[in-house]
Amino acid sequence: MSRDTGDNLNRNLSGNVPMDSVLDTFLSRRSVVRGGLGAAIAMIAGTGLSGCFDSGGSDDDDPVVAPPTPAKLKLGFNSIAGSRTDACVVAAGYSAYVLAPWGTPLNSKANPWKADGSNTSTDQLNAVGMHHDGMHFFPINGSSEDGLLAINHEYIDADALHPAGPTSVAGKRPAEEVRKEINAHGAGVIRLKKVSGRWQVVDNDPLNRRFTSATVMNLSGPLRGTNHVKTRFSINGTQARGTNNNCGNGYTPWGTYLTCEENWPGIFINKSATLPADQKRIGVSTSSGNYKWETAAGDASEVNDEFSRFNVTPSGASAIDDYRNEASTYGYIVEIDPYNASTLAVKRTALGRFRHEGCCPGLPVVGKPLVWYMGDDSNNEYLYKFVSTAVWQAADANPADRIATGNKYMDQGKLYVARFNADGSGVWLLLDVNTPTASGQTLGSLYGDLAGIILNTRGAADALGATPMDRPEWTTVNPLNGDVYLTLTNNSARTAAKVDAANPRGPNRHGHIIRWHDSDDHNSFSWDIFVFGANAAGTADINRSGLTELNQFASPDGMSFDSRGILWFQTDNGESSLTSYTNDQMLAVIPTNLVNAAGKQVPINAQNQVDLRRFFVGPNGCEVTGIAFTPDNKSIFVNIQHPDNWPSADLATTATPAGTKVRPRASTVVIQRNDGGEIGV
């Protein structure tokens, strides 16, 4: 979440509260929660681990987990204490280095970063963007020492971006400042190499590139070419300009990056008396854009409506004469081919339009559809998944044309939204024209065609009775068994009267992580809550997982399994019971190690919580977000977003000297073990 641009207002007025009277039922039946073994077996294919989890463990018909054949993986570091300094802290035996901070030149068109904030918009277009977030490492020829870091730049700190903060003259933002802000957003691809044991950015590498809030992209999937997305820029509705507020990320089995558009509604303004339903439901502003980019419209230097496009108030004779549809070209999953700089990014509209947080793929199985899981991060919004029409073919893992492969798997398929039942089961509700709504209509009767449904994905999900969740952030899939995990970061709008089994605390100030396992047919799932965020001194109702000083956390957000089955998650916390103890952090746990006497996976509890360990803490003011791994797991990349007064040295653990004020720079931090071994074990 961008603390400055984030918007967690509850815009869900659907009244979907399907479980608020049945919490007790759930708590008394937790032992029925179990994963779909058949699905797990289909996916694990030789890993030697079962995919079941069970929060009760008393069922004698539960299959017993097969003992892992390799030596059981264990965390090999001790949990560290919290920290509140202008420095990173990492577990003993590890080092953390600053890599690719905001403003690092990617090619010779950019001047070196200047500490006075005076770099130009052209410099910024050719340099690392601001406020790093989700990312993924794409190896070159399988290497763990040479690769491409695809990375999101979620938003900006305008005070740090400009020499003396943002300015305006008579209510208008200067064009050069607006261009610099637009260019600091988006995503990027950065060539990295490890030289003499240290990672470096490869300046001028031909694969280095930036995608900004102005970069031309293709529209693909059900919205492409429809009247919903025709603009003065693209009169046939096939292209869009820019990606914005790119928060979590995903990837594909064919080697492309997925960047997710989250708080993009804030860059637009619609001054109409009545907003289109989709704009109202998702929160397009009626007063002022977050950055007031639209106020630069009419500047003598403006090219191709580069500023006026952020004002989506109808002004022309039709949609192709103005930008009333510009906001309809945002809110998507965007696919980037990091290995081919000649390709355009593609907005994959089939995966829904909302405030996308992340987009994690399920485990690919030959002959089965591909799946991606996606959160919509606002109070009381929903969890979604997309299931491809095409079934996975192994030859597509290394295709000649990755974007064409994306067309194959990501443009046709089924979009679902989740309903969590109180008994630990769940249903995936299909967002399609023939699906009956809770009020006895069909989605087709409400929204016309599939494009209309996708345009107002939230509204369609309302109509189906999906479960409002506590701000769904990232998802990740356990490579050992296909279980899916979702961070629910917090929910100030959840009242005590509106709790349900999947979101059982109101208000939810600390967040929790829920997990599930899909059925083979993708229509249903079984779920449990893996861990509740809490301060260690919290009441029994708050500290439900028995956390201690060494692993207390709140507001889980970024999250990813590594290839070995270690779950890493990160916090974006503003809850005072934790901020008074520690800055934002990253913790690790191996869920398949947490089992009951019958060998079934169980959630984190007072007995096993010692296996949840704090590995890393960021500097004052920051959010720790984004995580990527080299194939050998000997380097882990994490991002430090919006630090207060950091970095001051190459070593990320060097504290900024007292009395020194640096211009803060979001940065990737690369963590390596001092003996060169694998991280975490």
Tell the smallest beta-carbon distance from residue 7 to Ca ion (Å): 12
Question: Residues touching ligand FEO: how many (CB under 6 A)?
Answer: 9
Binder of Ca ion out of 247, 370, 454, 655 (CB under 5 A): 247
What's the CA gap between 332 and 193, in Å, rounded? Answer: 31
Element (H, E) at 240: strand 239-241
Q: Name which of residues 569 to 628 contact Ca ion (CB under 5 A).
A: 572
Tell the smallest beta-carbon distance from residue 360 to ligand FEO (Å): 14
Beta sheet of 346-348, edge-to-edge order: 239-241, 216-220, 346-348, 333-336, 257-261, 246-251
Strands annotated E in 212-358: 216-220, 239-241, 246-251, 257-261, 333-336, 346-348
What's the CA gap between 156 and 171, in Å, rounded? Answer: 20
By CB under 6 A, residue 1 contacts ligand FEO = yes
Q: In the block, which residue shows the tokens 């229509």?
A: 523
Closest Cα to residue 373, out of 476, 280, 279, 284? 476
Q: Which is nearer to ligand FEO, 220 or 491 (CB)?
A: 491
**Contact partner at residue 2 from Ca ion, ligand FEO, none, CB < 5 to 8 Å by partner kind:** ligand FEO
Tell the smallest beta-carbon distance from residue 260 to Ca ion (Å): 9
Tell the smallest beta-carbon distance from residue 374 to ligand FEO (Å): 12
Task: Judge residue 10's burial from the number of C-beta atoms within 10 Å of its C-beta, 0-12 exposed, 13-18 middle, 19 or more buried.
Answer: middle
On whether the CB atoms of residues 192 and 181 are closer than 8 A, the answer is no
By CB under 6 A, residue 294 contacts ligand FEO = no
By CB under 5 A, residue 528 contacts Ca ion = no
The binding track of 540-579 with respect to Ca ion, each residue x by CB under 5 A or -, is -----------------x--------------x-------
Tell the smallest beta-carbon distance from residue 133 to ligand FEO (Å): 6
3-state secondary structure of 518: strand
Task: Judge residue 497's burial from the number of C-beta atoms within 10 Å of its C-beta, 0-12 exposed, 13-18 middle, 19 or more buried.
Answer: exposed
**Contact partner at residue 486 from Ca ion, ligand FEO, none, CB < 5 to 8 Å by partner kind:** none
On whether the CB atoms of residues 177 and 165 are closer than 8 A, the answer is no
Tell the smallest beta-carbon distance from residue 248 to ligand FEO (Å): 7
The binding track of 386-425 with respect to ligand FEO, each residue x by CB under 6 A or -, is ----------------------------------------
Tell the smallest beta-carbon distance from residue 598 to ligand FEO (Å): 37
By CB under 6 A, residue 247 contacts ligand FEO = yes
Q: Which residues of 442-459 are buried (b: 16+ CB within 10 A; e: fewer)?
A: ebbebbeebbbbbbbbbb
Binder of ligand FEO out of 54, 62, 123, 262 (CB under 6 A): 262
Q: In the block, which residue shows the tokens 């730049």?
A: 153
**Contact partner at residue 154 from ligand FEO, Ca ion, none, CB < 5 to 8 Å by partner kind:** ligand FEO
What's the CA gap between 491 and 509, in Å, rounded? Answer: 6
By CB under 6 A, residue 357 contacts ligand FEO = yes
Q: Which is nearer to ligand FEO, 267 or 453 (CB)?
A: 267
Return the structure tokens found at 505: 């605390």
Binder of ligand FEO out of 62, 154, 335, 562 (CB under 6 A): 154
**Contact partner at residue 62 from Ca ion, ligand FEO, none, CB < 5 to 8 Å by partner kind:** none
By CB under 6 A, residue 177 contacts ligand FEO = no
By CB under 5 A, residue 488 contacts Ca ion = no
What's the CA gap between 177 and 183, in Å, rounded? Answer: 10
For residue 405, what are the contacts with CB-CB under 8 A and spacing of at least 6? Answer: 252, 254, 256, 396, 399
Binder of ligand FEO out of 7, 278, 376, 473 (CB under 6 A): 473
Pairing of strands 383-391, 369-375: antiparallel
Return the structure tokens found at 556: 């889980």
C-alpha atoms less than 13 angstroms from C-alpha of 580 in its C-beta half-sphere: 7
By CB under 5 A, residue 1 contacts Ca ion = yes
- Contacts with ligand FEO by CB under 6 A lie at 1-2, 154, 247, 262, 357, 377, 473, 557
- Contacts with Ca ion by CB under 5 A lie at 1, 247, 557, 572
